Amino acid sequence: MDLAEGVLAGDRRAVARAISVVEGGGAAGAALVDRLYPRTGRAWRIGLTGPPGAGKSTLADRLIGHFRDAGQRVGVVAVDPSSPFTGGALLGDRVRMDERTAGEAGGVFIRSLAARGALGGLSEATEAVGDVLDAAGYDVVLIETVGVGQGEIDVAEAADTVVVVVVPESGDAVQAMKAGLMEIADVFAVNKAERPEAGRMVRALRQMLHLRPPPEDGWAVPVVKTSAVEGAGIGSLVAALEGHRAHLAARWDETRTARLRRRVRQLVEAGWRARFWDARRSALDAALAGLEAADRTPHRLAARLLEREGADREG
Ligand code: GDP
């Protein structure tokens, strides 16, 4: 049985190895994704993102509990875009969690992922790990990211349904991040909702959602209150998630095609950029060294290298 067959058979060790292969990128990773991709599309990929300490991991544990109780298998990918080499602080917690759940007949699989410079970046790596778990038969793939920057937003795009987790007192942070996060959120969870300011936060978010232009796909983003440590509000969160899933189900082919288009664009752009510079590393040095001061300007130099590109293609 080769690696792809092992994944398709749901073999845990094959899944672990396959994730390392796709995470590393390169030809082996690409070949494996191409074998598995046609067998994907069944798993529900749920992204959890938001500022550190908002309660994403605690909430993820609650969601895992919910899906396990419903008899579903859950894969968890913890992504730390700010930490290029390890899963950062996430890793320690997650490995402990994995040990705790490893006995459950493989019902939960947890893995952390870090930016390793694979072609297409962390977002493609996250998509590819999602493919492995999807092809292996996990019903739900939870993608947890730390932070609220562009990197996290890119990663969140690898999910079908994105939950943005905030806490009652993150009012200023929400103002600062609203542009990007408002666009990616399918559901807002105001966690630590046992705190008195929670109602104010919920109202502020609803107001912001109300003020923006109506979304093209017609989905009205729900704002739910949760208290992950107490286990309160998990039912409402799950109901909001299921609502979004039903909304997607009505346009599943479009959704899947849009994601595929985005992945292909990213891969083409990354591949094209790498090829361009492979061919012109020395051309740039030569241009920098050889030109008179008047021509040694950013735009003239860039134009020279780009013209070369045109000339090479014609010739
Ligand atoms: P993450 O960084 O977003 O993954 O946050 P964690 O899940 O690690 O939670 C950060 C801290 O907040 C931990 O000490 C949790 O126990 C705590 N926490 C999580 N959810 C709640 C909640 O609903 N209420 C309160 N009071 N604390 C919570």
Distance set, CA 3 to CA 8, 11, 40, 58, 77 (Å) = 9, 9, 16, 33, 20
- Binned at pLDDT 50, 70 and 90, residue 86 comes out as very low
Asked if 237 and 224 count as a contact pair (C-beta separation under 8 A), the reply is: yes
Distance set, CA 209 to CA 39, 51, 197 (Å) = 36, 19, 19
Average pLDDT, the chain: 84
Ligand 1: atom nearest CA of 228 is 23
Compare 119 and 12 and report the one with higher pLDDT: 12
Element (H, E) at 76: strand 74-79
Task: Identify the residue whose C-alpha is closest to ligand 1 atom 17.
Answer: 55
Measured from the Cβ of residue 268, the count of other Cβ atoms closer than 10 Å reads 11
pLDDT in tens, 65-78: 999 999 999 999 98
Residue 224 has phi, psi (to 5 degrees) of -120, 150
pLDDT in tens, 25-55: 889 999 999 999 999 999 999 999 888 888 9
Q: What does the alpha-carbon distance between residue 225 and residue 130 come to, in Å, rounded to a whole number?
A: 28
Ligand 1 center to 227 CA (angstroms): 9
Residue 278 has phi, psi (to 5 degrees) of -60, -40
Model pLDDT, residue 82:
67
pTM over 0.85: yes
Ligand 1 center to 161 CA (angstroms): 21
pLDDT in tens, 181-230: 778 899 999 999 999 889 988 998 898 888 888 778 889 999 999 999 99
Q: Which residues line ligand 1 (CB under 6 A)?
A: 52-58, 191-192, 194, 227-229
pLDDT in tens, 138-181: 999 999 987 656 667 777 788 999 999 988 886 655 665 556 77
